[in-house]
Structure 1
Amino acid sequence: MTERAADPASHLYKRHRFPAEIISHAVWLYFRFPLSLRHVEDMLAVRGIAVSFQTVGEWAGKFGAAYARQLRRMSKGAFADKWHLDEMVVSIKGRKHWLWRAVDANGHVLDALVQSRRDRKAALRLLRKLLKQQGIAPRVMIIGKLRSYGAAKNELMPGVEHRSHKGLNNRAENSHLVVQRRERTMKRFKSSRQCQRFVSIHGPIANLFHYPRNLLTSAQYRKLRTASMETWSRIAMPTAG
């Protein structure tokens, strides 16, 4: 996850009053921590940077998506061959939606997909998207009790081993906690499009800064954190590195 990435095109920052350093820092704050747009506005104001929360939101959408695309390209083929799949309920304007998520054995987010259905068709859509992005089928799939997963897997990947048992899928269930915290901070998602855009950007950025703290010494953690920040600087600032 820390190999050198191609610098983003310089024109990405053209016609923006603030430099790449400030824009990328605001985007990093918003997606790295469970902060609202107004929180980021206040944190920038403390440093003497007067930016409205609306502008921060525009930066998060435009630049966050560009950074996430680069991170996805860098990480292709770098994930573990065991996939954990699960879904959580997301209430949007009083209607129930389902956020389908896939993570690997190390807790890295493979993909997240917002759908209004919780059936075989929805499971197929998620698996097709995963296969297209990852370019290879997993060795093992850990799925919940929802039978739609098994039906979709048997159609697309009949030879892949799958397991379904209470307690096996804690990796995927724990991954939902981050989105649930953000959902509360954002006072619920306003639309399925907004939710999908957020999780699509958040996943690759969260992967870059994902460290198994309980398995690392302090020195190892600091080394990984430094490498992650260097990678972030390279993808977010054309003149860095």
Structure 2
Amino acid sequence: MANTQLYRGFRYPREIISHAVWLYFRFSLSFRDIEDLMASRGVIVTYETIRQWTLRFGQQYAAELRRRQQRRGDKWHLDEVVLTIKGKHHYLWRAVDQNGHALDVLVQSRRNRQAAKRFFRKLLKTLRYARQVLVTDKLKSYAAAKVQVMPGVEHRQHKGLNNRAELSHQPTRQREQQMRRYKSPRHAQRFLSAHGPINNIFQCQRNRLSAQQYRHVRTQAFLLWNEVTDITKNA
């Protein structure tokens, strides 16, 4: 991140702050769980302080990871699921590539053509490269929005083809249960927009790699994380 001012005013060193933030976004842990894990290593910090760290640094880490990420695949799988927030239905729109890497998310109150257009435009703004194929379920809003926003892209609409996008919601559901639902649409958007990029770099597809290859990929992921969180400046 190359920002010497990033951690100014914080009592704890950047290694501790970034490690707590990593634990929160990487695993299904509560703030109290992380407080206990940190205490087991001799670091006494309250769960409320950890919560403040995730709010302060999660988005910044994720933004830097997005800037540094490798180009993702050109086949985009899109899907939307219902989020119940304070008794009201909202919709989490998510896009992943053919390798399962999260591309972007958007929490909206609607599931119509305008909502689909808004999500397409957000994707195009974030991912500035040509896409070849768009894969969705049979929701008519996708087709109507695609004609206006991405008319030249091949669109495949079939529920069976979109399993990758549907499976990508599972970690989100696990976190939603662990957090006892999201507190507001803004809370959901803030958490999920940081959760995706942070998890992308540690998504190493272990089942396709040898043990040696996996260790190498994982080492590279931690090196990138240390650069993004500015830890290397203390080395």
Q: Normalising TM by the smaller chain, what interval?
A: over 0.9
Partner of 1:187: 180
Q: Distance in 1 between matches of 2:228 and 2:154?
A: 37
Could you tell me which of 210, 214, 220 is aligned with 2:213? 220
CA distance in structure 2 between the partners assigned to 1:187 and 1:215 by the alignment: 34
Off by >6 Å, runs of 4+ in structure 1: none
* Secondary structure in 2 matching 1:211: coil
Q: Of 221, 226, 232, which residue of structure 1 is paired with 2:225?
A: 232
Correspondence for 2:137 among 144, 151, 160: 144
TM-superposed CA distance for 1:8, in Å, is 3.3
Percent identity over paired residues: 54
Amino acid at match of 2:36: D
5+ residue gaps, structure 2, are none
Pairing 1:52-201 to 2, within 5 Å after superposition: 52-75=46-69, 78-201=71-194
Counting only pairs closer than 5 Å after superposition, residues 20-59 of structure 1 correspond to structure 2 as 20-59=14-53
Question: Could you tell me whether the CA contact under 8 Å between 1:86 and 1:144 is conserved in 2?
Answer: yes
How far residue 84 of structure 1 moved from its aligned partner, in angstroms, is: 0.2
Taking the aligned partners of 2:92 and 2:223, their CA distance within structure 1 comes to 31
The match for 1:209 among 181, 188, 202 is 202
User: Does the aligned pair in 2 maintain the 1:131–1:137 contact within 8 Å?
Assistant: no
Q: Which has the higher contact order (CA 8 A, sep 6+)?
A: 1
Amino acid at match of 1:178: P
TM-score, normalised by the number of residues in structure 2: 0.97
187 and 161 in structure 1: CA distance in 2 versus 1, 3 angstrom threshold: same
Judge conservation of contact 1:86–1:173 (CA < 8 Å) in 2: yes
Consecutive unaligned residues of structure 1, counting only runs of 5 or more, are 1-6
Q: Which amino acid aligns with 2:43?
A: I
Aligned 8 A contact 2:136 2:159 in 1? no
Question: How many angstroms does 1:12 deviate by?
Answer: 1.0
1:158 & 1:69 partners in 2: Cα distance? 29
Q: Deviations over 1:133-178 (max 9, x none)?
A: 1113410000011110111111111111011112111111111001
Measured on the aligned residues, the alpha-carbon RMSD in Å equals 1.1
Q: 2:5 aligns with which of 5, 11, 19?
A: 11
**Cα contact 1:143–1:164 (8 A) shared by 2:** yes
Q: 2:66 & 2:101 partners in 1: Cα distance?
A: 12
Q: Which amino acid aligns with 1:127?
A: F
TM-score (norm 1): 0.94
